[in-house]
Amino acid sequence: FASLSSEQQASCACVTMEIGEAYRNPTEVTMSQIVLPCHSNHCGELSAGQLLKWMDSTACLSAERHAGCSCVTASVDDIHFEHTIGVGNVVTIIAKVNRAFTSSMEVGIMVTCEDLYTDTHWRVCQAFATFVARRRETGKVQLKQLTPQTQMEQMEYSLAAERRRMRLIHAEIITDLLSSSTAQLECREYQDAVPAERTRVESVELVLPPHANHQVSTFGGQIMAWMENVATISASRLCNAHPTLRSIDMFHFRGPSHIGDRLVLKSIVNNAFKHSMEVGVCAEAYQGGEPQRHINSAFMTFEVLDADRKPRTLPRIRPEPVDGKRRYQEAIARKKIRLDRKYIISCKQNEVPLSVPWDPSNQMYLSYNNVSALKLMDTINNWVLTSEKNKVRLYTLEENQTLCFKVEMNVSVSAEQTFHLLSDLRRRKEWDRHYQACEAIMKADEDDTIYRVRTPSIRKGGKGQDFILLASCRKPCDVRDPYLIALRSVTLPTHPPTVDYNRGEVLCAGFTILEESSAVTKVTYYNQATPGVLPYISTDIVGLSSSFSSAFSACSDFLEANKDSSATSAPQTKNAANMPPLPKEL
């Protein structure tokens, strides 16, 4: 459930409206370009800089269509280029607004390629950009809210809030990883290492009218293209070959640039690994004798491909003292985060183990995966009602050879109080007999806690089960969002399986809590059944038991009994920032 099937995506994209026309998102903008030699690099492939320009302009048009006014690029999330694009191929870029906040909005960008001679299509990359609405007159812009129409739009709308949270804490993750893994990030001496200074590049560009947008500000895509150009030169100097750009860490524009500015672009190879290298690049602007102002920074990962399109082994880098060593260490930290992100998010759900090792570097992506899986289940609308008893409704869904179930009920308790009572798993044993004991192991961050849960044995004389669960709790961004409590299994070296319990695993579970009126709150519990969970619910699903109905009736009574109690206190646990580094290879 981490991603929709191709059939679901097709049905979501082509919903037929009552008037008989295929539905199309009103903010959607499509650009199609045939790749000409003037767009290509030395290999006859579309240059990444040119592609970034096209992506940024398409996304900007989508943002302005929704905002009804001029918009500027604020940031572009990490981009991973899956394939290159040759001369003569057609590039199609589709952009649409996923969600609007107060004055900013997230625009989703999908890039595909078409070979006109073989009629084959393939995906090149996907990106998420943040744009800010700007008016000529003074005063803040209040963007109109989007109303998702399809399952896919509902999913992206919901996930946009979680991606926004990730952007805000991205820098903190790097800082925490550097402080907790100092010993693992030490610079190593390699024989025949290339001095980093040899890869340093500096270039200046004069911003002319063709480089500006309709607001006479330097086009964000143009700045990204210039940055990619100098980064490519740095990478070439390390390997004495023509490199291929594989990924870009988040672009974040820190200030505007205008016609007449001199844009100074600087790049250097921060670190070289076996088959890839990271190049740091920054852009600064000035006019006349004024001091340079920081416009943007980015980190780009390059590979060098051999004749068989396989990555070549690269020479190692010898960093400069002080700042060079700092960049060297930060590059290791970013590589670890990129690998964790690819492992957790980029893979299909059935390719990822149920229980993923937790450490501070992958906390952000584990949390995102946890919340996004629950939000996706919440957008599915083809559930089958299996039973209803005591106003508790049990639904099931079988898809992709996976059984899921959800339990729904309404309570006369505010959504906020329901969230406070259910988000502390230590109190769940007060109403759920399947929770024998629960202890809070660690406070991963303000919204995420790791628990150890113990459950009794289903069979007489058998062993009970225990679970190590990451609980990710989210408050709504606006009135249309539910409160969320997402649960998934993780592994911790400090809490290995024991002989007294069988270690169970949870792939995706949790609560959504939505206030339907001032007097009624809808509580929905979801669970993607795994072998460790199935024995507890199988008899309910086939109608031989009503234990789930009894459990959630008890939950309703628990909420009603505590509707006026004060908010539960946060679990007293060890903070992740103060933990010793976990023994995991970088």
Q: Where along the chain do its domains lie?
A: 24-166, 190-349, 351-562
The whole-number average pLDDT for the span 332-359 is 66
pLDDT for 441: 93
The whole-number average pLDDT for the span 437-449 is 91
> What are the structure tokens assigned to 564, written together?
């006026």
Instruction: State whether residue 143 is helix, strand or coil.
Output: coil
Q: Render pLDDT for 235-248 as a digit per residue (tens, 0 to 9).
A: 999 999 999 999 99
User: Residue 211 above 70 pLDDT?
Assistant: yes
Percent of the chain with pLDDT over 70: 83
pLDDT for 543: 45
User: Residue 6 above 80 pLDDT?
Assistant: no
pLDDT for 23: 80
Task: Reply yes or no on domain 190-349 having CATH 3.30.420.40.
Answer: no
pLDDT for 583: 36
Fold match flag (190-349 vs 351-562): no
pLDDT for 91: 97
Integer Cα distance of 163 and 358 in angstroms: 20
pLDDT for 136: 61
Where is pLDDT greater, at 177 or 519?
519
Residue 262 · residue 286 · CB < 8 Å: yes
Cα radius of gyration rounded to whole Å, the chain: 26
Q: Report the amino acid identity of residue 464.
A: G
Where is pLDDT greater, at 104 or 568?
104
Instruction: Pick from 12-26, 358-372, 410-424, 445-459 the range whose average pLDDT is largest.
Output: 410-424
pLDDT for 359: 79
Q: Report the amino acid identity of residue 40.
A: S
Q: How far apart are the first and last CA of the chain?
A: 29
The whole-number average pLDDT for the span 498-508 is 88
Task: Reply yes or no on domain 24-166 having CATH 3.10.129.10.
Answer: yes
Instruction: Measure the CA angle with vertex 111, ends 105 and 113; round to 5°.
Output: 165
pLDDT for 486: 95
Q: Is the dihedral of CA 483, 487, 493, 496 positive or negative?
A: positive
Pick the CATH number of 351-562 from 3.10.440.10, 3.30.530.20, 1.20.1260.10, 3.40.50.2300: 3.30.530.20
Q: What is the mean pLDDT of the chain?
A: 84
